[in-house]
Amino acid sequence: MSELKRPPLPHDFHPEVPSFTVVSEDLEPGAVLKDAQVYGGGNTSPQLRWEGFPAGTRSFAVTCFDPDAPTGSGFWHWSLFDIPASVTELPAGAGSGKFEGLPAGAVQVRNDYGSKDFGGAAPPAGETHRYVFTVYAVDTDRLGPDAEASPAVVGFHLRFHTLGRAQLIGEYTSPAQS
């Protein structure tokens, strides 16, 4: 069987905006995700720190998206927004459902697992998927949606309010079933 063509990355369809820097103690660009970021492992959101974002940034949003999911529409693992502009780092585990480490006012919506937290990598057996962690610099204090919005609605609002974007992409291959 020939290898399937990989879907485009999510930002390939968005207007171009300046990039800035995001780094993580838990994720290296292009590297394999650690067990902590795997659904059946620690299921823990990675530590993220960003800098160099555009002037005029009034808040941030953070998402994790798997464009390779066999859904036709990808898979949202995390969607968080209304992070105050004074916050430039999230500790590991900030995306847990307990909201520990999240700044006051930040809003987390349900992921495609159906829970309001970070849901780790879990591709079908034997498949390698990309996980796109994106930090958005946003031009407004409040993006608009509430905690009941879908990640797609959050993405719609981000399309029109993003001043800049930074991303880290990791990969994970689920063990093949025997």
pLDDT digits (tens, 9 = 90+) for 147-157: 999 999 999 99
Residue 111 near residue 80, CB atoms below 8 Å: no
Strand partners, 162: 138
Mean pLDDT for 143-170 is 97
pLDDT at res. 4: 64
pLDDT at res. 1: 32
Is the model more confident about 80 or about 6?
A: 80
Q: To the nearest whole number, what is the mean pLDDT of the chain? A: 94
Residue 32 near residue 119, CB atoms below 8 Å: no
pLDDT at res. 18: 97
pLDDT at res. 97: 78
In percent, the amount of the chain with pLDDT more than 70 equals: 97
Residue 136 near residue 158, CB atoms below 8 Å: yes
What lies within 8 Å, CB to CB, of 166 at 6+ separation is 19, 20, 21, 22, 50, 53, 134, 135
What CATH number should be reported for the domain whose range is 18-173? 3.90.280.10
pLDDT at res. 45: 97
- 121: Cα within 13 Å, side-chain hemisphere: 29
Annotated domain spans of the chain: 18-173
Give the global pTM: 0.95
Q: How confident is the model at residue 72 (pLDDT cuts 50, 70, 90)?
A: confident
pLDDT at res. 122: 96
In percent, the amount of the chain with pLDDT more than 90 equals: 86
